Structure formats: C-alpha cells, structure tokens
Amino acid sequence: MAHSSFRHHLLLMSLTSTHATLWIIAILSFGVGDLLTTVVFLSSEMNHESNPIAAIAINEIGLWVLVPWKVAVFAVFGGLYRLTPKQIRVGVPLGLCILGLLLTGWNTYSSLTGVRLTL
C-alpha cells in the first residue's frame, strides 16, 4: 500500500512540474516572444498589425497597450486552468505555448519576408 502511495505522489510531482514547465514556456513564447516581436517590428515600421482590434488599440493608445492586454489574457487562461478538470488541465498552458510559438514565428517570418496575412 505504501509503495502505491509513493508512486501516486511521484506522478503528482511529475504532473505538477510538467504544468509548471508549460506555464513557463507559455510566458516566454506568448507573453515575451510574441510581445517583443510585435513591438520591435511595429516600432521599426517593418510590419503592421493585422489584427483589426489590436491595430485600433495600438493606433489610439500606443504599443504599451499590449502589456496589460497580455496580462489580461494570462489572467483569463489562469482562471480557465483552475476551472478545468485536473485530467485535462495541462491543455491550457499547452495551448498557450503552441499559440505563442506560432505567433512569435509568424511575426518573425512575416517581418523578415514581407509576407502579410490578409483578412
């Protein structure tokens, strides 16, 4: 019985560290990577914001509006993480990781090649 409890404890520690690692990657990719590539390329006029809502906010308020926007997104996803059943909870930070990597990659590719997404 004690051996089973120990394995259960190790599994929980492993899942917790996986979740924490994914949150760190999400912060680095979606929070920092996407934000930095957006700010660098928009401020150097190498690119333009293709999201119409973000473009209006940036034009009206300035690039700094992206920081509280990102904080709000993380707050929403943090709440979603807490509400999601434990068995599938890992999908929340994983989704942000994937989104962050895609957006950072797209921003870099688009700015270096001139390829634009037209909606």
Q: What is the pLDDT of residues 75-105, one digit of tens each?
A: 999 999 999 998 899 999 999 999 999 999 9
pTM of the model: 0.78
Phi, psi for residue 35 in degrees, rounded to 5: -65, -50
Residue 51 structure tokens? 């999201």
Q: What is the mean pLDDT of residues 51-77?
A: 92
Q: What is the pLDDT of residues 11-45, one digit of tens each?
A: 555 557 888 899 999 999 999 999 999 888 888 77
